[in-house]
Amino acid sequence: MKRIILVLLMFCLVLTGCGKLSQKDIVKDLEKKFNDCSGYKLSGNLEINNNDETYNYEVKVSYKKKDYYKVILTNVSNNHTQIILKNDEGVFVITPSLNKSFKFQSDWPYKNSQIYLLNAIINDINNDEERKFEIKDGKYIFSTKVNYPNNSSLVKQKIEMNKSLKLKKVTVYDKNDTVNMKMTFDKIDYSSKFAKDYFDIDKIIDKKNVEEEVKETANLEDVIYPLFLPTGTKLIDEERVKKDDGERVIMTYDGEKSFVLVEETIDVLNEFTVIPSAGEPFQLMDTLGVMTTNSLSWSSAGIEYYLASDVMTNDEMVEVAQSITGIVSMK
């Protein structure tokens, strides 16, 4: 009788365990889907929060083994589109509305966490030996550390999948446990095929259909000053310079964390131009910018910005830039 009871108990335990995947099973399945596919496409919505401001992007990602990426980011509020492209020639940040692209010799996207790239999400799970895993409300949820070197305030993320192991949402939190970014996935296709020239920059830029945005020169009658300044730093000089097609304002800030901030009216180029650049693509609230060791440049609402400092950290430059971008964002 005792033997029969023991067998029944063991049978019940086996039944109870059926249908429940371990976190190792889930990670293995995700890796297999990614490694077995020759390419994928995904789409979704990216939400970025900065204090009381929220920025929403429509995101479309295309990936082809082994090193081809095309990320199309469209700001929902103003329909402004930018593209991150990686191919054999390098990494490009393309702004069709300006007929312009920055080109980098960069190891993007492998250096940082990337909220909308599958391989980066899988790597974050694998690289965190202290990751947490739970099954809640019919979802599999991983909690992991993140790696955003240019924004050290971002510390962790939650990765949510349904019971069919379809990636549904990634949420990134800062040190105060506040949501900074949230990517909601609508569709992921692991069987995508691409034309031979799909990742060529000339294919992306149709010179006959450059966006009709900021065609009229803006003016700088109302100079936009940063709301955040490092302690002890103040504006000591402001110089206006006339350009052929607009104007430029150069502001010099002095103190322990001194920097220079340049604001100028945007030039829409007549022909598509690729500009070699040092640094990395950087997502700055309502736009993609360029981050280097000692500078940050971006464009927003018809104005181009350039911030440079030999003494500020990247985090400090981002904080200053965010306090400007939040004012001029097109909502």
Helix (H, G, I), strand (E, B) or coil at 242: strand
Domains of the chain, earliest start first: 23-207 (2.50.20.10), 219-265+292-328 (3.30.200)
The overall average pLDDT reported for the chain is: 87
CA distance 226 to 297: 14
Rounded to an integer, the average pLDDT of 220-237 is 90
CA distance 322 to 307: 12
Rounded to an integer, the average pLDDT of 204-231 is 68
* pLDDT confidence tier of residue 160, bands split at 50, 70 and 90: very high
Reported as a single tens digit per residue, the pLDDT across 293-312 is: 899 999 888 889 999 999 99
Reported as a single tens digit per residue, the pLDDT across 58-74 is: 999 999 998 999 999 99
| Residue-wise DSSP of 81-149 | EEEEEEETTEEEEEEGGGTEEEEE---TTSSS--TT-HHHHHHHHHH-TT-EEEEETTEEEEEEE---T
**Which pLDDT score, from 0 to 100, does residue 228 have?**
93
Residue 109 has pLDDT above 90, yes or no: yes
Residue 37 has pLDDT above 90, yes or no: yes
Residues of the chain above pLDDT 90, percent: 65
Considering the entire predicted model, what is its pTM?
0.86
Token digits for 134?
């739970």
203 vs 160, which has greater pLDDT? 160
**Which pLDDT score, from 0 to 100, does residue 330 have?**
31
